[in-house]
């Protein structure tokens, strides 16, 4: 898997499902800048990223403060 337009689009859709349609996504966005990104949203993100991309994310996806960019890297690093 590489970071191309279709990857970014799929990523955007997962975020839109969880944070609402029409959200603007940049790599810098994280829990510090998006109020709705709480621990509940974090669970949903992990669930849906794993289902969408067919992978299992490491524990740190949940435990650490993440951003859109760092989650993208985690997904790419853990994809087959």
Footprint of another protein (CB under 8 A)? 13-14, 16-18, 20-21, 39-40, 42-44, 46-48, 50-52, 59, 62-63
> Distance between CA 25 and CA 56 in Å, rounded?
23
CB of 21 to another protein, least distance (A): 6
| 8 Å CB contact between 36 and 60 | no
CB of 6 to another protein, least distance (A): 10
| 8 Å CB contact between 61 and 14 | no
Q: Name the residue nearer to another protein (CB basis): 7 or 52.
A: 52
């Amino acid at each position: 898997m590489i970071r191309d337009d279709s990857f970014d689009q799929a990523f955007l859709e997962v975020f839109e499902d969880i944070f609402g349609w029409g959200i603007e996504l940049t790599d810098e966005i994280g829990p510090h800048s998006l109020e709705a990104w709480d621990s509940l949203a974090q669970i949903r993100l992990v669930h849906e990223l794993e289902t969408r991309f067919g992978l299992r994310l490491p524990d740190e996806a949940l435990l650490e403060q993440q951003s859109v960019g760092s989650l993208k890297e985690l997904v790419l690093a853990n994809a087959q």
